[in-house]
Amino acid sequence: MTVGDSAPTGPSAEPSVTPDAWRAAALGILGGGFALGLVSTNKRLGGAVPLITAGIAVGCTIPIALASRRPPITPQRAARALAGTAQKPSFSIVVAARDEAVVLRRLVADVSCQDYRRADGSPLFELIVVDDRSSDDTAAVVAEAAAERGIAAVTRVVLRRGDDLPDGKGAALTAAQPDMCGGDIVLILDADARIEPWFLRRAAGYFAAGAKAVTARRRLLDSECGWLAGAQADEQTLDGELNRGRWALGGCSEFRGNGIMVRRDLLAEVGGWRATALTEDLDLSSRIAARTGERVAWALDAEVWEEPVRTVESLWRQRLRWAEGAFRRAFEHGPAVVTSSELPIGARLDFVAYVGQLAVPPIVLGAAAGALVTGRRRGLIAMVVGYLGISGLLGWDALRWERRPDGRALAGGEKLRRALRVSVFNGLWLLVVPRALADLAFRRGPIRYVKMDHDGAAGAASTSRPGSRQER
CA triple 37-385-243, angle to 5 deg: 95
Does the pLDDT value for residue 50 go beyond 70?
Answer: no
pLDDT at 114: 98
DSSP state letters, 151-164: -GGGEEEEEE--TT
Band the pLDDT of 366: cuts 50, 70, 90. very high
pLDDT at 135: 92
Question: Once rounded to an integer, what is the mean pLDDT over residues 227-249?
Answer: 95
Write the pLDDT tens digit of every residue in 115-142: 999 999 999 999 999 999 999 999 999 9
Q: For 111, phi and psi rounded to 5 degrees?
A: -65, -40
| Cβ burial, residue 102 (10 Å; 0-12/13-18/19+) | middle
Band the pLDDT of 378: cuts 50, 70, 90. confident
What's the chain's average pLDDT?
90
Query: Which positions ≥6 away from 332 have C-beta within 8 Å?
Result: 22, 283
Question: Once rounded to an integer, what is the mean pLDDT over residues 381-392?
Answer: 88
The β-bridge partners of 94 are: 128, 188
pLDDT at 250: 95
pLDDT at 79: 97
Band the pLDDT of 53: cuts 50, 70, 90. low
Q: How many CB atoms lie within 10 A of CB 335?
A: 11
Pairing of strands 125-132, 155-160: parallel
pLDDT at 454: 81
In 377-450, DSSP assigns E strands to none
Question: For the chain, first and last CA: distance in Å?
Answer: 34
Tell me how far apart the alpha carbons of residues 171 and 276 are, in angstroms, rounded to a whole number. 7
DSSP state letters, 283-339: HHHHHHHHHH----EEEEEEEEEEPPP-SHHHHHHHHHHHHHHHHHHHHHHHHHHHT
Q: How far is CA 433 from CA 110, 181, 427, in A?
A: 36, 36, 11
Does the pLDDT value for residue 466 go beyond 60?
Answer: no
Rg (CA), the chain: 22
pLDDT at 9: 44
Question: Once rounded to an integer, what is the mean pLDDT over residues 264-291?
Answer: 97
Alpha helix positions (H), 339-359: 345-356
Q: What percent of the chain has pLDDT over 90?
A: 75
Domains of the chain in start order, with CATH, are 14-68+354-442 (no CATH), 72-312 (3.90.550.10)
In this structure, of 169-178, 294-303, 366-375, the range with the lowest mean pLDDT score is 366-375
| Between residues 268 and 465, the one the model is more confident about | 268
Tell me how far apart the alpha carbons of residues 232 and 227 are, in angstroms, rounded to a whole number. 9
User: Residue 153 in contact with residue 112, Cβ under 8 Å?
Assistant: no
Write the pLDDT tens digit of every residue in 315-364: 999 999 999 999 999 999 999 999 999 999 999 999 999 999 899 999 99
Query: Which positions ≥6 away from 148 have C-beta within 8 Å?
Result: none
pTM of the predicted protein model:
0.92
Q: Which amino acid is at 119?
A: A
pLDDT at 470: 43
H or E element, residue 202: helix 199-208
Tell me how far apart the alpha carbons of residues 12 and 66 are, in angstroms, rounded to a whole number. 41
Q: What percent of the chain has pLDDT over 70?
A: 90
Write the pLDDT tens digit of every residue in 62-85: 888 899 999 999 999 999 999 999
pLDDT at 27: 97
In this structure, of 50-59, 244-253, 340-349, 353-362, the range with the lowest mean pLDDT score is 50-59
pLDDT at 140: 96
Does the pLDDT value for residue 464 go beyond 60?
Answer: no
Band the pLDDT of 5: cuts 50, 70, 90. low
pLDDT at 438: 97
User: Residue 150 in contact with residue 131, Cβ under 8 Å?
Assistant: no
Of 46, 187, 210, give the one whose Cα is nearest residue 126.
Answer: 187
Does the pLDDT value for residue 25 go beyond 90?
Answer: yes
